[in-house]
Amino acid sequence: MIAVDLEAERKEILRRYRRLLRKAKPFLKDNDAKLIKKAFNLSVEAHKEMRRKSGEPYIFHPLAVAEICVEEIGLGTTSIIAALLHDVVEDTEVELDEIKSSFGPKVAKIIDGLTKISGVFEHGSSQQAENFRKMLLTLSEDVRVILVKLADRLHNMRTLGSMPRHKQLKIISETIYLYSPLAHRLGLYAIKSELEDLWLKYTEPEVYVDLVAKIAESKSSRNRFIKSFMNPIVDELDRTGFSYEVKGRPKSIYSIWNKMKKQNIPFEEVYDLFAVRIILDTPYDQEKAACWQVYSIVTDFYTPNPDRLRDWVSTPKANGYESLHTTVMSRAGRWVEVQIRTQRMNDIAEKGYAAHWKYKDGMNPAHESGLESWIQKVRDMLEQNDTNAIEFVDDFRSNLFSEEVFVFTPKGDLKILPSGATALDFAFDIHTEIGAKCLGAKVNNRLVPLNYQLKNGDQIEILTSNKQRPNEDWLRFVATSKAKSKIKDTLKETKKQAAIDGKEIVQRKLKQMKVPFDGDVANQLRAYFEEKTVTDFYYKVGRGLIDPSQIKNFKDFKKERQKSLRVKSKDFEYSDDFKKIEDPGKDILLIGEDMDVLDYRYAKCCNPIPGDDVFGFITVNEGIKIHRTTCPNAPELLSRHGNRIVKAKWMSQQQNAFLAVLRIIGTDRVGLMRDVTDIISNELKVNMQSISIDTETGIFDGQIRLYVNSTKHLDQLISKLEKVTGVMRVTRHDSREVN
């Protein structure tokens, strides 16, 4: 029986391999098929004893990643080989040198970038952040490392169902925090949308299933509407002789859910559930004129919304995206988004960076320089960046802007900067020296300060002075990593001397207080004064921003702290709680039973209650905090600090009262609030902490903070309140304060 299964598996592996070759065949050159076969055989042999969590042979994963690289990203032979071998160095006995000698330095470099770092990390670092930085360092030589990683992440997300819950949470949080914005920035919209949809599937499964069902239900009526809407446009396109294709596609599940959440509206009230896309087959030199001609045809039949015209044909997005978007009013009284683009633009929108190379010859250099320019900026940032990994990831994320601002130099040259960039960012973008001496700016011939936020169409002239020098405040109002790194470089020398002075002052003060000085004490002082690094703490003491006399208060705090937490040398501040959780007999925090063993509390940013899916996060000074997996801070905590995450679950006998926040919206009437409070206090015997109501033109919007026992209790309360006459909607509301 086992032999039959193994034989069936062998046949399935070969079937998948042949499918990969069929999809890659159109662009394979002379020796490519032999190299791919060699990589496949090496991968099969290296992974032969390994299986995935689902029970499938491990080789299914690299084959699937290679197929995504070919079919969904449009990559070639080097990337296929790297995808087939991307896990062999990390998970098997195969060495990187062996890969290099068999497949060359390019493949070896990509695989090295994809291989996680092993070893010990310094205090305050994050292994995920270190791994991400290592992978991005390869970007300075070969962008394919990122594209193969995105293919790897997409397949892991597609097969996440077989993973345990705590690993699901870590993977989906990294995905929404870093990989989805990265896919967006590289123009891989199809992959970005699927990653976001899968994040929602595993974060809020019930919401996801409900939305999928509702989109499916509305499919036939949506298709009828699109056909009716497009009929007059199609007739005119045929008459004018355009070669075209029309697609009506629903918005992604994540974007619909996001809109519902932001606007606090149900599915039925999301008006732009889909977009109509008109894809033209036209020569490159006629693209712009053809797109505007089709826009003219669409607006001949339907009235456009002037505020919703987006022209990314004349000025493509920085990631290379080109399209003409308009929103028009249909005859049925519904707004419809129409996207007009050519086949080339559509390929770039779907496959992003990889598609640029397919069309590079004969393109307008201005149109293909946006993404190259962004990648060059990332390369510069990687070369200049010597901060710790977590700061680096934050810096990098700030570069993953989905929106840009288009501004002009005094000579009329176009500059594209991230949304939120200031006049100072513009100065550093022109030249480091101009940025360092920037005194102010003239925007459209009007004097503005350094922190003026740029707007589309601004024309900027930078004013400089040889007496001007960067200062700490500048870091607060620059948005680009180039400006930040240059300002930090200039400040570094000054800071270094101030930190040396500060350290001497701290050592003298501790000696007076008879407190022995070592690295552990220095780190506790950093935490007590809430500084990011020990150097920052020394610097502030050296500059006089922290009075040395305040260190006496730390000594008193330390005595109190030692009563509740036994801090061990060379461990993190949170070592006691961490050690208890890492007990081999117990790897999960039982909420309701462990209060006497562990110092834990409930996070105020999401107010978890029994029934919520939760995790524990080990903080520096406040023990363990329990967060909901849907907490607004969860993606950051789970993706940046995986080593401080604790599995947690509620005990069934838990009967305490937990704070929950409800948002209630409806039409105002006499006695409404009395009916609402009667249900809460009298009928369901729920205690309220506070209630606040805003009423405007007959509509009220209120927030009620109350205590419940569980999610079941809360659902019962919401159901009762929704039946009150005048109440339109009751939803659980998250507090947004960061913990």
Catalogue all structural domains in the chain, each as residue range(s) with its CATH number.
2-162 (1.10.3210.10), 489-564 (no CATH), 575-650 (no CATH), 658-732 (3.30.70.260)
Neighbour count for residue 1 (Cβ, 10 Å): 5
State the Rg of the chain over Cα: 29
Q: Which of helix, strand or coil describes residue 445? A: coil
Residues 713, 490: Cα–Cα separation, whole Å: 57
Contact yes or no for 16/9 (Cβ under 8 A): no
DSSP states along 334-387: -EEEEEEEEHHHHHHHHHTHHHHHHH-TT--HHHHHHHHHHHHHHHHHHHH--S
What is residue 141's predicted lDDT score, i.e. its pLDDT? 60
pLDDT at 571: 40
Compute the distance between CA of residue 681 and CA of residue 677 in angstroms, rounded to an integer: 6
Token pair 């007009």 in the structure block, residue: 340
| Cβ count near 373 (within 10 Å) | 12
Question: What is the greatest pairwise CA distance in the chain?
Answer: 92
Phi, psi of 571 (to 5 degrees): -115, 170
Average pLDDT for the chain? 79
* Residue 222, φ and ψ in degrees, nearest 5: -65, -45
DSSP string, 130-187: HHHHHHHHGGGT-THHHHHHHHHHHHHHHTGGGS-HHHHHHHHHHIIIIIHHHHHHTT
481-525 pLDDT per residue, tens: 778 878 888 877 777 888 888 888 888 888 888 778 777 778 778
DSSP 681: I
- Whether 90 is catalytic is yes
Q: What length does the chain have?
A: 739
- What's the pLDDT at 129? 67
DSSP character at residue 610:
B
- Give the pairing of strands 624-628 and 614-618: antiparallel
Catalytic annotation, pick one of 45, 90, 678, 715: 90
Residue 171 near residue 163, CB atoms below 8 Å? yes
d(CA 615, CA 377): 37
643 φ/ψ angles, rounded to the nearest 5 degrees: -70, -10
Catalytic residue among 56, 91, 531, 668: 91
Judge whether 270 and 289 are in contact, CB under 8 Å: no
Residues 710 and 662: their CA atoms lie apart, in Å, by 14
Structure confidence at residue 452 (pLDDT): 92
Q: How many CA atoms lie within 13 A of 41 on its CB side?
A: 7
Residue 419 gets the label, from left (phi > 0), alpha (psi -120 to 50) or beta, of beta
Given a contact cutoff of 8 angstroms between Cβ atoms, the answer to whether 184 and 402 are in contact is: yes
Catalytic site includes residue 91:
yes
- Classified as helix, coil or strand, 411 is coil
Distance of CA 196 to the CA centre of its chain: 9
Read off the DSSP letter of residue 314: T
Structure tokens at 81: 């080989």
pLDDT of residue 356: 58
What type of residue sits at position 296?
S
Nearest 10 degrees: CA dihedral of 431, 435, 441, 442? 0
Structure tokens at 140: 């300075």
Task: Report the distance separating Cα 277 and Cα 245, nearest Å.
Answer: 8
Write down the pLDDT at residue 557: 63
Q: What residues of the chain score a pLDDT lower than 50? A: 1-4, 119-124, 366-368, 401-402, 563-586, 737-739
